[in-house]
């Protein structure tokens, strides 16, 4: 793709070019209008039944949704960047897609989840950065595919194409193109949509995660549970020199909370984490702060430990507000849980991966060191009697995930398609 090439994909557009087009047009969580519309158009061409936007999820269960003006601006931008109008109209103000197709009546229902969203991050413009050199660096200020979701989306499309070209699979395929993975916002509403309730075998996937190209992890499991929330402290402005006693300092409440959040006792039953990712309080030098916003994240090795951290964080912020005479509101921004991959699925993936020529190393189990909101989809499938796993597809990265220099090895896209298509046929 070139910097001036804004054409919509065709049936001859390669998966690498699709990935590069997505990388050049990143869309943060719940703003993936162009991505969803283009994917939907491609899968419609391939004969899939489409469930778009509100049809793909329980809308009222969404977390961390931007305000209406942000969504409207993102939708307008998507239209300006050649998103298929018919699909934009069908999805309305909600992104996300579940696409399904039957290849036979006797096989299982197989679900594959790929995430589509980008991060709110400024991509580097250094000449050493591959997307800069090849002309597909992000065109959107403060948005970047810095976690490989552009590659994940390309793998999902490649899988739909691959199965369309062969008939070994005798079952139903459901592709879950999930919005808002970052922050743990999109999987809960998709898991409650009803679309996963009949899934017999389920695979979520991720590129990289510290593994070299050619390595496949058949079963990641036990990610940390996670909860992100935003706290708004509201006080009373006053002149800091003339009448400071007339004010109620929201920023002081926030800083009191920060100090005590990091003092939460760690739990004896397993790992726990807490972090304050940002504090904002725009005031002048001589103004008592009347408003402060704080972003908090807690994690726990188990759901119980995570809940302990949530309860402690809420208790501390509540008492910090009371101590300084301000009010506060706490809003959950995103949430994940934990899971264990099923051995039956791990066996199928590892056996299939070992038959792919470009795969050089297959590992059965690895512990997922961070958090992942596919956990809710995996847990839902398992609760309904299905089997699930989280697969890692190795990809050489020049820098770590969530950094301005992140990029994927595009050879890993084909590996992902081959591993998953062989797994589906084996199922």
Measured in whole angstroms, the distance separating CA 396 from the mean position of its chain's CA atoms is 20
Residue 144: predicted pLDDT: 98
Tens-place pLDDT, residues 370-386: 899 999 999 999 999 99
Average pLDDT over the chain, rounded to an integer: 95
Identify whether the C-beta of residue 178 lies closer than 8 Å to the C-beta of residue 60.
no
Using the predicted structure, report yes or no on whether residue 5 has a pLDDT greater than 90.
Answer: no
DSSP string, 345-414: HHHHHHHHHTT-TT--EEEEEEE--S--THHHHHHHHHHTT-EEEEEEE----SS-TTSTT----THHHH
Identify the pLDDT of residue 104: 87
Give binding residues for Mn(2+) as ranges: 147, 149, 182, 206, 402
141 pLDDT exceeds 80? yes
Q: Domains plus CATH for the chain?
A: 15-223+338-426 (3.40.630.10), 225-336 (3.30.70.360)
Position 411 confidence tier, pLDDT thresholds 50, 70, 90 = very high
Residues 369, 371, 374, CA angle at the centre, nearest 5°? 125
Predicted local confidence at residue 4, as pLDDT: 39
DSSP 289-346: -SEEEEEEEEEESSHHHHHHHHHHHHHHHHHHHHHTT-EEEEEEEEEE------HHHH
Q: In the chain, pLDDT over 90 holds for what percent of residues?
A: 94
Q: What is the pLDDT, as a whole number, of residue 166?
A: 65
pLDDT in tens, 52-96: 999 999 999 999 999 999 999 999 999 999 999 999 999 999 999
Confidence (pLDDT) at 165: 64
| Whether the predicted pLDDT of 2 surpasses 50 | no
| pLDDT-based confidence at residue 427 (cuts at 50, 70, 90) | confident
Q: Which residues pair with 397 in a beta bridge?
A: none
Nearest to 18 by CA among 178, 145, 175: 145
pLDDT at 208: 96
Asked if the model's pLDDT at residue 8 lies above 90, the reply is: no
> β-strand 272-280 against 291-300: which pairing, if any?
antiparallel
For the stretch 322-366, pLDDT in tens is 999 999 999 999 999 999 999 999 999 999 999 999 999 999 999
Binding residues: 147, 149, 182, 206, 402
Residue 188 backbone zone (phi > 0: left; psi -120 to 50: alpha; other: beta) = alpha
pLDDT in tens, 273-331: 999 999 999 999 999 999 999 999 999 999 999 999 999 999 999 999 999 999 999 99
Q: 323-361 as b/e, with b when 16 or more CB fall inside 10 Å?
A: ebebebebeebbbbbbbbbbeebbebbbebbeebeebee
């Amino acid at each position: 793709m070139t910097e001036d090439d804004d054409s919509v994909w065709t049936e001859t557009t390669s998966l690498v070019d699709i990935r590069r087009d997505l990388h050049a047009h990143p869309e943060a969580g719940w703003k993936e209008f162009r991505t969803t519309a283009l994917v939907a158009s491609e899968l419609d061409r391939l004969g899939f039944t489409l469930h778009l936007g509100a049809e793909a999820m329980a809308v009222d269960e969404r977390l961390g949704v931007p305000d209406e003006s942000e969504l409207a601006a993102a939708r307008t931008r998507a239209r300006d960047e050649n998103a298929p109008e018919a699909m934009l109209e069908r999805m309305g103000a909600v992104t996300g897609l579940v696409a399904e197709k039957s290849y036979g009546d006797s096989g299982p229902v197989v679900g594959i989840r790929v995430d589509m969203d980008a991060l709110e991050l400024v991509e580097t413009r250094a000449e050493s950065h591959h997307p800069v050199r090849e002309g597909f660096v992000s065109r959107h200020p403060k948005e970047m595919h810095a976690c490989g979701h552009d590659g994940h989306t390309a793998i999902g499309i490649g899988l739909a194409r691959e199965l369309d070209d062969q008939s070994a699979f005798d079952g139903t395929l459901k592709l879950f193109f999930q919005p808002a993975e970052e922050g743990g916002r999109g999987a809960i509403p998709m898991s409650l949509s009803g679309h996963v309730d009949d899934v017999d075998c389920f695979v979520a996937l991720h590129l990289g995660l510290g593994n070299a190209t050619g390595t496949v992890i058949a079963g990641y499991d036990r990610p940390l549970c996670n909860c992100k929330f935003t706290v708004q402290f509201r006080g009373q402005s006053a002149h800091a020199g003339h009448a400071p006693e007339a004010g109620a300092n929201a920023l002081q409440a926030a800083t009191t909370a920060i100090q005590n959040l990091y003092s939460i006792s760690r739990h004896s039953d397993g790992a726990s984490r807490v972090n304050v990712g940002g504090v904002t309080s725009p005031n002048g030098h001589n103004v008592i702060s009347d408003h402060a916003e704080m972003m908090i994240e807690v994690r726990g090795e188990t759901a119980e430990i995570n809940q302990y951290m949530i309860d402690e964080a809420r208790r501390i912020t509540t008492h910090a507000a009371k101590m300084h005479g301000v009010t506060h509101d706490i809003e959950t921004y995103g949430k994940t849980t934990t899971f264990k991959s099923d051995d039956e699925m791990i066996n199928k993936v590892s056996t299939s991966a070992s038959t792919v020529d470009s795969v050089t190393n297959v590992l059965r189990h690895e512990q997922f060191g961070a958090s992942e909101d596919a956990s809710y989809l995996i847990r839902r499938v398992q609760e309904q009697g299905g089997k699930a796993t989280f697969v890692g597809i190795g990809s050489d990265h020049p820098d770590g995930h969530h950094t301005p220099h992140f990029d994927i090895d595009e050879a890993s896209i084909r590996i992902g398609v081959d591993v998953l298509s062989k797994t589906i046929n084996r199922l």
